[in-house]
Amino acid sequence: MDVMSIKHIRQSIQARHEAVAARKDMERLLSVYSTPADIDDILAAVDREDGPQAELVRDVLTDNLAAYHRRTFQGSAAGIRIAA
């Protein structure tokens, strides 16, 4: 393996680490938006934005919304009793 290949691999790994760190930061910042109304408000604000940062915001908020629905479904499913 030549020096350029090793350098490219290191840069690629570094870029992935930075992307993971950026996502974790964004998840932490957006964790306060956890209800559908909150999430819809922020999504509307970011709707006209383009670029990787806006896409990251949309991804994190979509994950927050999915987590909300999972929690809601699990909570309601736990209370369901099936008549025998």
pTM (two decimals): 0.75
- Measuring CA to CA, how many Å separate 65 from each of 5, 10, 17, 61? 41, 35, 25, 6
Q: Which of 17, 43, 49, 48 is nearest to 30 (CA)?
A: 43
pLDDT tens for 7-59 read 899 999 999 999 999 999 999 999 999 899 999 999 999 999 999 999 999 99
Structural tokens at position 79? 């209370």
d(CA 26, CA 61): 10
